[in-house]
Each structure stands twice: as C-alpha cells, then as structure tokens.
A and B are shown apart, each in its own frame.
Chain A
Amino acid sequence: MLDSYLPIIVLIVIALAFAVGTIVMSHLIGHRKPSAVKLAPYECGMPLVGSARERLSIKFYIIAMLFIVFDIEAVFLYPWAVVFKRLGMFGFAEMGVFIFILLVGYVYVWKKGALEWE
C-alpha cells in the first residue's frame, strides 16, 4: 500500500531540488551590492516608525479559532461522506444532529458579533 506513495516522495525530492536549485542559482548569478538602506524594511521611503513585531488586533485570531472549530467539523464530514451509503438513514440522522449542533454554535458566534469587523 505504502509503495503507492513512492512517486510522491520522488516528486517531493524533485520539487525541493527545483526550489533550492533556483534560489542557489540566483544566489550565484545575481550580483549583490547590499547597503543599509536597501536592506531596511519597506516603509514607503520614510524612516521606520515602530516595528512590525507588535501585537495585532484580536480579530484575526478569532478567525483562526473559528477556522479550527469548523475545520474539525469538516474533517468529521469526510469519512461520513465516503461511507454514507452504508450508514444509510442512521448515519444521515446522526450527521444531521451534529451539523445542527454546529449551526447553533455558528448562530451564537454570529450573534456575539465575532463575524463583524467594525
């Protein structure tokens, strides 16, 4: 069974070789003349104000947390979808309950305003 993954391993090696190869090639061919200003982060041509390593708005993290919740749900859906036929009505009802519970959570999240941006 595992030997069906062999081509993928070969492909990984080729892809890595491609990625590393091109970068090394450009490293060798490209001329380099670094200077302090050139290596500074882009700030529209002005001196830096503060740094990029600051704390960010919580809202981005909420999206990430919601994603994890819903992605795990999706993970449960896949195996069910494959054996859907065999599980029949019972499996469908079970899944219906599962999705319903999730929808309740979803409505809660919506009402709480986690999906708002203002």
Chain B
Amino acid sequence: MAKTETMTINMGPQHPSTHGVLQLVLELDGEIVRKITPHIGFLHRGVEKLAEHRTYHQVLPLTDRLDYLAPMHNNLGYVLAVEKLLGIDEQIPERANAVRVMMAELTRIKSHLVWLATHALDIGAMTVFLYCFRERERIMDFYEKISGARMTSNYFRVGGLSRDLPDGIEREIRAFIDEMPGHVDTYEGLLSGNKIWQKRVMGIGVIGAKDAIDIGLTGPALRASGVDWDLRRDQSYCDYDKYDFQVITGKDGDTWTRYKCRLDEIRESCKIVRQVLDGLKPGPILADCPKVCLPPKKDVVNTIEGLIHHFKIITEGFKPEPGEVYVGVENPKGEVGYYLISDGSPHPYRMKIRPASFVNLQALPQMAEGAMIADVIAIIGTLDVVLGEIDR
C-alpha cells in the first residue's frame, strides 16, 4: 500500500465519550486509527499525597472520590488495609462484614449499570442508558438511606461501619434484588439479539489471556480473556468464602465477552446479596477496639473513658505500629489495592493506590490500534475506565 499521511486529532478531554477527562491523541488514516496515545492527569487531585497529612480516619473520605462509581469498594479496600496494619482484621464483627459484602455487591451492580448505560450509549443505543439509570437510581436511594449520601458514601469505618442499617431497608433491598435479574434480561433483550449490536462488539478489542496478564488487566476485562482470577474467591476478604457464587469467565476476550461477563456478574451479585440478607443477624457493627473505633455517643457523654477515647481519636488519631501492608479488593473494574506504610505516627507515611482503571487503560492502544474510530469508543466503554481513579 502506498504511504499515507495521517491526521492527528485530539479526542478528549472535552469529548462526549471519553468517560470524563481522558485525552486520546489519535492518528487517523481515514477512519482507521493507526496510533493511540492516552494522556491522563486532568483530574489529578493528589489523593496519595493528601493522605500523608491526614489521620487514618480522615483519609477515608478521599477514597470515595477515586472511583466515584463504586465508592464503597474504595472505602472497603482502604479500611481493610488499615485494619490489617493495626492487626485487628480478625476482630471485625460478623454483621459488619456481612453488611460490607452486601454494600460491595450492590455497588458492583451500580457500577456495572453505569458501565452498560454508557457503553450502550456510546454505540448509539440510547434507550438502554435510561433503563440502566432507572435501576441505578434505586441503589442510589439505598445508598442515601444507609450512608446518608448518594455518591460519596464514606460508610465503612476502620473496625466496622459508621452506622447500622436503617429499619426496613432489608425488605427494600430484597425486593430490588428479586427483580434485578429480570431487568438484566430486559437489557439483554434490547442488545444481545440485535444484529447491529453484535456486529459492533463481537471480535472488537480482542486481547488474549497472556497479553491480559502481561499488561496486568484485572476484573471482568481479565476474566473475559479466560483467566479465572477473582480476589473475592482467591484471596477472600470479609468472609466472601462463606457465600456461594460463581466467578464468571469468558473465552474470547472481545468486547462481546466482556459485555456478557459483566451482565452475568450482576446476576451473581444479586445472588450474593440475597445470601447476605438471608444470613443477616443483629449484632455489633464496630470492633471492640476503643483506641481505634469511635465510642458510641452515649458513652462519650456519660463515661470518662468514652470521652477520652473520643478526644484522642478525633484530635490525634490512632498510631499503628511501624510496618507496611498491601490489601487488594475486587472492585467492579478490577483489583483496587491500597499499600500503606506506617512509621508509627497517626498519619500514613505513604499511601499508594493500585487503581484498576489505570492499569486496564494500558490495554487500550494494544486493543484499538488498527481499528476504526467507532471501535475506539466501544473499547473505551468496554474497559470501563473511570478517570477519578486513573488520575487520583
């Protein structure tokens, strides 16, 4: 073929389909993309650095704002890391763990709903978008009732939960979980059988198991390539091993497989939430570690110990032993890990976040070079990146 001149074009940060402020510099040969260079950092807030000047409790709200589509997962990863650093990870009450699992799985459904909504919208199926957001709204309502906030939940605490579930929420969640698989069938009805949809996603953005592992893909993007790896099962946390669920894997590693995997994961998450609700027993929601967990308000005003603990935790925070720890959790998008170093002071000496989207984004050039502009959009969608987490 004759030599062609390429056209360089900025896609993003101000673009409808780069899922936030991702900038891609594309080199186009007609409609075909020859080279992709992702530029990131437009949403950089310096969360890792900010954490070094806050007490361990104060870092928690920062983690909400990483992957703002799955805030509870970020809370969970951080909280687990701090608990491990303190050595209290065995003392978390059963109820707290159960609620953590339930909220994590609801969050997974919520995050996958946003993924499906935007992915479908990017490919032109705008109706699916609103259908997904209808269900997401229900989860947002649960969020609001449980944590007080719709987006930035800040619900988990080192040692347990910030507060117990409100009355009657179990019934509402159960009703939602009962109908959710039917909604997933509706989405499938709108998309899976559609010839145009199939043509747009089948065989697009293929990545093999070896490449996926080499790049460090995690989450559904890895499992769709045929690698059976899920932290919930393989490095169980929060008593995930008590629940019966399947790790969904695919074979082909294309956009279609990732789409199917995520939809099936929604169904599995429903199963887990149902099991949690079945086994939910009343009990304490915070570990019995007065130096770490805030005492109940009535103890603060009635007992001198409560007052002192409260004062110490609020003004100074707790001081973990020097040491370092890494905990990864299975975020809807992949493995989100928190690496903490303590020097014995009340602030983390260093907090390093291993974001799932950041690593997954690295697969974009490999998956999309040689494809067409429309495929790039589909592949950004299928990687399910969220810029808050990439830029931190």
Contacts and interface: CB of A to CB of B under 8 A. Distances in A.
Query: Does a CB–CB distance below 8 Å link A and B in the complex?
Result: yes
Interface of A: 43-46, 49-50, 54-60, 117-118
Nearest to B370: A118
A58 B30 CA distance: 8
Contacts of A50: 7-8
A44 B13 CA distance: 6
Contacts of B5: 54-55
Where chain A touches its partner, the secondary structure class is loop
A58 B31 CA distance: 11
Interface size class of B (residues with CB under 8 A): 10 to 19
15 contacts: A43-B9, A43-B10, A44-B11, A44-B14, A44-B23, A45-B14, A46-B10, A46-B14, A46-B23, A49-B8, A49-B10, A50-B8, A56-B7, A57-B29, A117-B32
B202 interface: no
A43 B23 CA distance: 11
Contacts of A60: 30
A49 B9 contact: yes
Given A44-B13, A57-B29, 11 more contacts: A44-B15, A44-B23, A49-B8, A49-B10, A50-B7, A54-B5, A55-B5, A56-B30, A57-B30, A58-B2, A117-B32
- Residue from the set A45, A50, A54 with the largest chain B CB neighbour count within 10 Å: A45
A57 B23 CA distance: 24
A68 B126 CA distance: 36
A46 B12 CA distance: 8
A98 to B, nearest CB: 33
Given A44-B23, A49-B8, A57 B31 contact: yes
Nearest to A55: B5
Interface string B11-24: 11111000000010
A59 B30 contact: yes
A50 B31 CA distance: 17
A118 B34 CA distance: 11
Contacts of B303: none
A15 B339 CA distance: 68
A40 B114 CA distance: 33
A118 B375 CA distance: 13
5 tightest A-B CB contacts, nearest first: A57-B30, A45-B14, A46-B10, A44-B14, A49-B8
A56 B30 CA distance: 6
Contacts of B29: 57
B315 interface: no
B4 interface: yes
Contacts of A46: 10, 13-14, 23
A50 B2 CA distance: 22
Contact of A57 (B4, B8, B25): B4
B29 to A, nearest CB: 6
Contacts of B14: 44-46
Contact of A54 (B7, B12, B13, B372): B7
A115 to B, nearest CB: 14
